[in-house]
Structure 1
């Protein structure tokens, strides 16, 4: 995968995170991702940096989604 493609994927994952946080009304904490200090707009960072950021962001998002799906479901009567 080319660096430009990784940056695009990184940007898409950041949008997924924003959408998920909006829909779930939560804030997702990604310690590993935050420690990397690589944002989708960090075009000066290396291809490897963006690859690491993509994996960290994807891992953080899926971990949070799995944790949320393990919570008991509450039903409300309409």
Structure 2
């Protein structure tokens, strides 16, 4: 860009438009990421509490062995 005058100004305006477009795209990416993170946090907060207890049967579902687990087990 050693030249001067209208051609140089035109090139600079073109560069400005490209950079503004890139900035807009980056800002959209940031907003999308912030929205996803907010949704993730809402999901964590809205997750139901673990049950106080849980029954577990044998692997085949018919086994006489039954285990009782507490909620924090």
TM-score range normalised by the length of the shorter chain: 0.3 to 0.5
Q: Which has the larger radius of gyration?
A: 2
Under a length normalisation based on structure 1, what TM-score does the superposition of the two structures give? Answer: 0.35
Q: Quick one: higher RCO (CA 8 Å, sep 6+), 1 or 2?
A: 1
More helix by share: 1
More strand by share: 2
